[in-house]
Amino acid sequence: MGHIHGVDEQATPDDMVQKARDMIPTLRARANECEALRRLPDATVQDFLDAGFFRIVQPRRFGGYEYDLPTLVRCMIQVSRGCGSSGWVLSLTSAHTWWAAQYEPEGQEELFADHGDLRFPLIFAPTGRAVPVAGGYELSGTWNYASGCELSNWLALNAIVLDDEGGKAPADLVVCIIRDSDYEIVDNWHVMGLRGTGSKQAVVKSVFVPKRRALSLYTLDGAPAPGRVLHENPFYGGPASPVFYAEIAAVAVGIARGAIDAFRERAATKTNAFQPGVKLFEYPATQRRLAAATAELDTAEAMLMQQARAYMDLTAARVPLGDTVSLEERAHMQLQLQHCVEMSAKVVDRLFVAGGSSAMNDGEAMQRCFRDIHALRTHYLMDGDRLRENWGRLAFDLEPLQRTPGL
């Protein structure tokens, strides 16, 4: 294969992870600016582009590195360790190059046409409508939470196709990808945590979406994705949900890792007002809390990496045979990855309290980690009770009641 535009063909997965690790101090230094802007600073976006982070799981035939899910996860942990908002935006745009590889070949050719430069949020809540028309759909509606929309060049939106018979259930759900010029951004992002993600509202008014850029989730439930024919790598033939869950869990683990870093820095310098001259790190309780938090987070990260590797192993074994990862296996992965998020949040909670009252001050890293991890946990995919119920029903050979089609 010849030179790939914008890609260092000598770079290894470990090189990419090291690039992310090296960026931690810079991201920390920009974290307050990122929150004040309520979007990623331009310099951060440029750094991500220069590093090739948006291309980590992008197919090589379209200018990407085509690394595996564990590599993506490792990189996103490091970036999120430096800045939760930056990690969230990067994770939820860079991973979507994998999603783009699910579309019809003609659609992929169009999406990756700009030398492989593809960045887009994906909003899975179907809050708009797609009306079938000749050659595709007419898309209209309003979608919240377009994370990173201002740095993106496309946008993916899940939309309802109404039942012509008047039934309550949709006739289909289609994920349409539209150009950045085809929607309006409404700035309604005034929130507690993940403030720097710029997860604003997208408004679409009667935009035509050709069939090549519309993916039916109902069809995806029972057949391989149409884009599968383009790629030999079985990674692109697996189900979407473990990829989506892993990209969010990686951000949570990274935020918690950043909280441990911040706690250690505070403990080394903070003096207890009730016992003048005694530093926080000198207390045995502080030492125990740091040790417990580290062990808990190491466990969460190990679980995350194990699930990412398991996904690669399963797709490698099943996809070439025309098989797929079962619904039960997907539910188990979702269960484990969501549990990684819960474990990460517990780490942040305990250290935030242990850090003392001044950790509440605006601009403090501990406070930002606390807000960010709890904002992350509000995501629908992170609803632990829903996932546990789905898994439990499947364990007893019952149909899950709250499953999202196509995942």
The pLDDT tens digits of the residues spanning 5-39 come to: 567 888 999 999 999 999 999 999 999 999 999 99
Q: What domains can be seen in the chain, in order of their start residue?
A: 13-111 (1.10.540.10), 122-218 (2.40.110.10), 238-395 (1.20.140.10)
pLDDT at 7: 74
> In this model, does residue 1 exceed pLDDT 50?
no
Burial class (CB in 10 A: 0-12, 13-18, 19+), 5: exposed
Nearest to 102 by CA among 229, 210, 244: 229
- Residues with Cβ within 8 Å of 234's Cβ and at least 6 positions away in sequence, in order, are 315, 316, 318, 319, 320
Q: In a 10 Å sphere around its CB, with 0-12 CB exposed, 13-18 middle and 19+ buried, how is residue 309 labelled?
A: middle
Please give the Cα distance from 77 to 301 (Å, whole number).
9
* % residues pLDDT > 90 (the chain): 86
2 pLDDT above the threshold of 60: no
Q: For position 3, what pLDDT does the model report? A: 44
Neighbouring C-alpha atoms within 13 Å toward the C-beta of 239: 26
The whole-number average pLDDT for the span 258-282 is: 86
| Mean pLDDT, the chain, integer | 94
Distance CA 146, CA 7 (A): 27
The pairing of beta strand 200-210 with beta strand 122-133: unpaired
Asked whether the predicted pLDDT for residue 363 surpasses 90, the reply is no
- The secondary structure of the chain in percent helix, strand, coil, rounded to multiples of 5, reads 55, 15, 30
Among residues 388, 111, 60, the alpha carbon closest in space to that of 236 is found at 60
pLDDT at 403: 83
The pLDDT of residue 6 is 61
| Residue 407 pLDDT | 82
Question: Would you place residue 301 in the very low, low, confident or very high pLDDT band (cuts 50, 70, 90)?
Answer: very high
* pLDDT value of residue 257: 98
- Taking the model in full, what pTM does it have? 0.96
Task: Provide the pLDDT confidence category of residue 274 given band limits of 50, 70 and 90.
Answer: confident
Does residue 97 have a pLDDT over 50?
yes
Between 249 and 355, the higher pLDDT residue: 249
pLDDT in tens, 44-86: 999 999 999 999 999 999 999 999 999 999 999 999 999 999 9
* pLDDT, mean of residues 283-311: 96
Q: Note the pLDDT of residue 290.
A: 96
